[in-house]
Structure 1
């Protein structure tokens, strides 16, 4: 049957999405799978549904645990996995039927440690288009780090990838953080010899109104900056040729947190707001000369340099 793949699915209060996710795994063209559903202390019917889904396919295993967050659930899944290859799927997402066949074939062909594919962003049920020209790459770890940090073709997301389990021998997802993927991905790639990649989209990443990507502002969003500060340090010490892209991503993280803060009319922290703005103003030369930032981002930044209220107006118009 070929190498077994352990597919780890953290589950928390997703009863209306879970069956679609699991069906997309069950129906994979690659059949030698172990499907590990980690019920992370769900308070809806998700835990019960996990137990019912076991009856649907004997490859499914269920683990019930106290709530500890996404990272905790993924770490538990890694501990429970019985195969040498693992993948992660978020329980409100789903995948194309041949995703794992494609990832495994590329992994084997390139004798790689990680195999990556592209993902669709799905907003309000609308799926973006597939790439017009499908490409594949055999990457060194430096090339792969550059590609995920640029985030134009591939990104730091953990879910649209296939890993050799040994990579997690001394690495775990950080518990209690958001942006957990950004904290670990560069460290994982740093341990690799070869990475296989394709821009072909096979994973459907669902953006929900109450998900981490769209929720109200919280100081937890500062984890995004923390993650890219860590990545900056790793790159500065080990991949000096990539220093520019690590600076870009750190600047992006400051924009990300500032934007989330400014669009939330119910959250006020002037000290934090000024700290974020001052950082960006201090790095104005890098931002305005950076080819990775869009023209729209740079125009918005110019308005921020003039006055934050002008920037705030543009930002709110854009988000509405």
Structure 2
């Protein structure tokens, strides 16, 4: 049996898959199995997976009808044989020592979960290197850090988990913010978490990714996931209430920004009015909040004055981000 099972959902990524798979096969930690879950890819991705499996016996390929990222991850969890689980998205890649670092940290601290940092990769740009930090904490401490999103995040992909964590945890099929939806479920299965900010997971930002700036009704999943998290925090973890509510406000802002840059139906317009009403009711909370940037607080003032002023700022910021990332 392998020590680690690495699960890679695959869908319509023939342009990126080779780099992803090769980065995993080149790991300095070699005792692993690689599970490629072809989630009904309409391109050559599924065929590529079969070719990789023929060339390396550590690779298992599963072909299934398209069910989304959560369904693909869940399939991988079901068939995994390793004592530890890891996830990599098929349009990203990892440093060759990522799993060795995660494994050694987890074993050294006798922890249940270990994380590393992200290296944000944009085409034609040099990545930003950040200061390294190493933290050993409990479930609540890890939740606070991941909710803050600076030293670590809620993402599934930059982590190594004890297999037992997923005895009762699965990703919600159909949701686009599946990581936020299960983060408390995952952390509640841990007693000790190691957070190492060494940038070992290379997150490739592409324009046509699942997290594009065009609003769809699925974006409302983000608000639901964070409101559900806040309800659980209020009931069980009072020390996390402030950062949990910050995340709820952040989710509302994120959805509103997408709405401001998209054509809306009458139903969407009513949803937008409710979002604006919620954010205006949190005006003081946002302004006094250490986690929100100066530009976000200025935008909050604009929203308080008139939504159209906020829309102008949102569109300007969106254009600037696209220009910077080109």
TM-score by length of 2: 0.95
Pick the aligned partner of 2:241 from 240, 243, 250. Answer: 243
Q: Partner residue of 2:74?
A: 75
The equivalent residue for 2:322 is none
Query: Are the aligned partners of 2:260 and 2:311 in contact in 1 as well (CA < 8 Å)?
Result: yes
Q: Secondary structure at the match of 2:172?
A: coil
2:13 aligned partner? 14
Work out the CA distance in 1 between the residues paired with 2:206 and 2:178: 18
CA RMSD of aligned residues (A): 1.3
Aligned residue in 1 for 2:99: 100
Please tell me whether residue 261 in structure 1 is matched to residue 259 in structure 2.
Answer: yes
- Residues 162-199 of structure 1 show CA distances to partners (whole Å, capped at 9, x for unaligned) of 00111111110000001110001122112210001111
Match of 2:23 in 1: 24
Rounded to whole Å, the distance in 1 between the matches of 2:107 and 2:265 is 49
Q: Which residue of 1 aligns with 2:177?
A: 179
Residue 124 of structure 1 deviates from its aligned partner by 2.7
Q: Deviations over 1:70-124 (max 9, x none)?
A: 0000000000101110000000000000000000011011111000011022233
Which residue in the other structure is 1:305 paired with? 304
- Alpha-carbon distance, 1:4 to partner: 1.2
Which deviates more, 84-93 or 184-193? 184-193
Return the match for 1:230 from 204, 223, 228.
228
List alignment gaps of at least 5 residues for structure 1. none
1:252-298 CA deviation, whole Å, 9 max, x = no partner? Answer: 00001101111124666210110100000111111111111111100
Q: Which residue is equivalent to 1:55?
A: 54
User: Which shows bigger deviation, 42-51 or 209-218?
Assistant: 209-218
Cα 1:54/1:215, change in 2 over 3 Å: farther
- Say how many residue pairs are matched: 318
1:125 and 1:102 mapped to 2: Cα distance? 28
Which stretch shifts more, 205-214 or 272-281? 205-214
How many angstroms apart in 1 are the aligned matches of 2:123 and 2:246?
30
- Structure 2: gaps spanning 5 or more residues: 320-326
Could you tell me which residue of structure 2 aligns to residue 37 of structure 1?
36
Equivalent in the alignment of 1:289: 288
